[in-house]
Amino acid sequence: MKKLLLALGLLMGLGPATASAQELPDLSMYKMMLDANKGSGWVSFREYDGHQWIYFSALVTLRCRMKEVRYSLNSDALDQTFPLVRCIPAIPFAIPSDAGWEATAMRQPSQSVKTLSVQVVFDDDSESEIMTFAPCEGVGDMTCARVVN
C-alpha cells in the first residue's frame, strides 16, 4: 500500500524533489479523492483473530489536508476522533514508516460494531458529508465495508 501511494505521488509530480509544506496538493484534490472512495468505503471491517478490526487506511492516506476524522460506533453521534499521524509533505499520501498499526486501525470485540458513522473535517474547516458503513456479510476474514446511508 505504501509503495502504491508513493508511486501515485511520484506520478502526480509530488516526489521528494518537488514537494514542500507549501506545495501540498490542492484541497480540491483531497476532496475529490475522498468522494471517489466513499462507495468502496472510507473505512473497512475485518473479523480476525477473535477481534473486529476497523481500518481507517483510506482516510489516513489523505490526512495531510485534514484537521480531524470524527466517527461513532453504532450511532450517528460522531462523538470520537481518530488520531492522525504526522504529515510528511514530501510524500503526502504515504503513511510514515515508523507508524504502528494504530495509525490506520482500531480493534474492537468480535462483531460488536454493526455500523460506523464518519465525517472528515478538512484543514479549511469544511466538513465532508456524514457516511455510515457496516461490515459486509459472508466475506470471512477479508476486509470489506458497505454503505448504509
pLDDT band (50, 70, 90) for residue 137: very high
138 contact partners, CB below 8 Å, separation of at least 6: none
For residues 90 and 16, the answer to whether their CB atoms sit within 8 Å is yes
State what percent of residues in the chain have pLDDT above 70. Answer: 85
Q: Which residue has the higher pLDDT, 137 or 23?
A: 137
* Overall pTM > 0.75: yes
The number of domains in the chain is 1
48-100: per-residue pLDDT in tens? 999 999 999 999 999 999 999 999 999 999 999 999 999 999 999 999 999 99
Query: The domain containing residue 106 runs over which residues?
Result: 2-147
Report in angstroms the alpha-carbon separations of 131 from 71, 86, 125. 9, 24, 18
pLDDT band (50, 70, 90) for residue 22: low
**What integer is the mean pLDDT of 111-130?**
97
103 contact partners, CB below 8 Å, separation of at least 6: 60, 83, 85, 95, 96
Q: Tell me 144's DSSP state.
A: B
pLDDT band (50, 70, 90) for residue 40: confident
Distance of CA 85 to the CA centre of its chain: 11
State what percent of residues in the chain have pLDDT above 90. Answer: 80
**What integer is the mean pLDDT of 10-20?**
43
**What integer is the mean pLDDT of 113-123?**
98
88 φ/ψ angles, rounded to the nearest 5 degrees: -110, 100
116 φ/ψ angles, rounded to the nearest 5 degrees: -135, 120
**What integer is the mean pLDDT of 95-107?**
94
| Mean pLDDT over each residue of the chain, to the nearest integer | 88
Write down the pLDDT at residue 140.
82
